[in-house]
């Protein structure tokens, strides 16, 4: 015998279904892009959130999250995602950029300029302060030299030894290195900059990382470096430079293997330059550059970059010759060479 469902049975069937649909409503953040300065906070309004809401970030150290009131506090320059999740298929996110305000340039050059070891007019070269100062100014990219410590951490430094240390970086641990104060002023503490902090600054200010290898590096460590850059979503925006042909060769092979889009430049000095056609661009000391060099490189689809140029007349002559980039300690560039939307906001 078939029984008809009574109205109260129907109500009992429909109500749980309605509750389930309500609980499954998509969560929504009130913002999906946000720019803060270090120290600033923001409280999110999250629609359709329940007690099971989970709040997280994609890159650690950039923001602090207060889960009780869905607020964040910016800690340092960088880029991360604030992620709100109910379930795997019920999530929303906001891209967070933490950076200081931009400083307008004075008398900029009409060419893409790269900040040599950061902007160290008032800061110590290759430190977080110098990179941050470069980030706030009109530069196409920020250049640094990197080395691998004994315990396999990448750090930024111009020479194979840290100031005040007798051992090479490759013979020293990260903790040993971070004990060193780079400042001559005892009341001011300036530590060696770790590679991830340099990348944080480049990402926050939309600057191309320009990374120089001064020592040979094995393939495994280079692959690990590229993995770090991929995590920060900047690997295809990088320019890698070196005098070490084995490093450039490996980086070229890895570029082909993983289909990356980063640039490679071979450092040269004086007039005895050479290049690998269709593989490596030329980064030359400025006084070794001539029209023939530039035309030869252009004929095989490559370019010439100049370093380190701090004289305006020299810079203008190089621009007329047709160099693509100028690495400099002082000269910023016009707005057209600053890609403010390189990584989004």
The pLDDT value recorded for residue 21 is 40
Q: Quick check: 331 pLDDT over 80?
A: yes
Give helix 219-231 / helix 245-258 axis angle, nearest 10°. 50
pLDDT in tens, 292-325: 989 988 988 899 999 999 999 999 999 999 999 9
The pLDDT value recorded for residue 334 is 95
Q: What confidence category does residue 2 fall into, taking pLDDT thresholds of 50, 70 and 90? A: very low
Going along the chain, which residue ranges are E strands? 28-29, 33-36, 41-43, 46-47, 54-57, 63-66, 71-74, 78-87, 90-98, 112-115, 141-148, 154-156, 193-194, 208-213, 239-242, 263-268, 281-285, 304-307, 325-328
User: Phi and psi for 299 in degrees, rounded to 5?
Assistant: -65, -20
Long-range contacts of 85-91 (CB under 8 A, 24+ apart): 85/27, 85/53, 85/54, 85/55, 85/56, 86/27, 86/49, 86/50, 86/52, 86/53, 86/54, 90/24, 90/26, 90/27, 91/27
pLDDT in tens, 233-266: 999 999 999 999 899 999 999 999 999 999 999 9
CATH 3.30.70.20 fits 25-98, yes or no: no
Same fold, 25-98 and 112-337: no
C-alpha of 206 from chain center: 8
Q: Which of 312, 340, 335, 315 is nearest to 325 (CA)?
A: 315
Min mean pLDDT across 95-104, 198-207, 281-290, 332-341 is at 332-341
Min mean pLDDT across 18-22, 71-75, 205-209 is at 18-22
Domain-wise residue ranges, the chain: 25-98, 112-337
The pLDDT value recorded for residue 268 is 85
The pLDDT value recorded for residue 275 is 56
User: Phi and psi for 193 in degrees, rounded to 5?
Assistant: -85, 125
Q: What confidence category does residue 20 fall into, taking pLDDT thresholds of 50, 70 and 90? A: very low
Q: Could you give the CA distance from residue 232 to residue 328 in angstroms, rounded to a whole number?
A: 26
Q: Quick check: 5 pLDDT over 70?
A: no
Query: Is residue 305 exposed (0-12), middle (13-18) or buried (19+ Cβ within 10 Å)?
Result: buried
Q: Quick check: 40 pLDDT over 80?
A: yes
Q: Could you give the CA distance from residue 318 to residue 312 in angstroms, rounded to a whole number?
A: 10
112-337: what CATH class? alpha beta
């Amino acid at each position: 015998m078939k029984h008809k469902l009574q109205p109260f049975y129907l109500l009992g069937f429909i109500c749980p279904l309605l509750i389930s649909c309500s609980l499954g409503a998509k969560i929504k953040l009130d913002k999906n892009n946000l720019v803060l300065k270090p120290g600033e906070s923001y409280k999110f309004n999250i629609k359709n959130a329940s007690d099971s809401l989970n709040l997280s970030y994609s890159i650690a150290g950039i923001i602090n999250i207060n889960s009780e009131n869905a607020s964040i506090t910016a800690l340092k320059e960088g880029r991360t995602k604030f992620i709100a999740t109910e379930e795997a298929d019920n999530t929303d996110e906001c891209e967070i950029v933490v950076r200081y305000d931009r400083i307008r340039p004075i008398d900029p050059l009409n060419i893409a300029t790269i900040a040599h070891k950061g902007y160290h007019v008032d800061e110590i070269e290759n430190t977080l302060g110098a990179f941050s100062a470069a980030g706030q100014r009109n530069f196409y990219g920020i250049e640094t030299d990197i080395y691998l410590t004994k315990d396999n951490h990448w750090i930024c430094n111009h020479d194979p030894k840290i100031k005040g240390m007798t051992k090479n970086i490759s013979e020293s641990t990260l903790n040993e290195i971070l004990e060193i104060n780079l400042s001559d002023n005892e009341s001011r503490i300036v530590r060696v900059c770790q590679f991830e902090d340099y990348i944080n600054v480049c990402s926050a200010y939309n600057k191309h990382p320009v990374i120089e290898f001064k020592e040979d590096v094995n393939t495994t460590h280079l692959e690990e470096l590229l993995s770090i850059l991929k995590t920060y979503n900047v690997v295809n925006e990088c320019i890698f430079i070196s005098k070490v042909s084995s490093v450039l060769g490996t980086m070229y092979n890895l570029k082909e293997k993983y289909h990356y889009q980063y640039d490679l430049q071979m450092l040269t000095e004086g007039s005895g330059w050479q290049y690998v056609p269709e593989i490596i661009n030329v980064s030359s000391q400025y006084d070794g550059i001539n029209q023939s060099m530039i035309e030869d490189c252009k004929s095989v689809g490559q370019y010439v970059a100049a370093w380190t140029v701090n004289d305006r007349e020299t810079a203008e002559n190089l621009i007329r010759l047709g160099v693509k980039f100028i690495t400099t300690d002082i000269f910023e560039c016009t707005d057209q060479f600053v890609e403010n939307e390189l990584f989004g906001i």
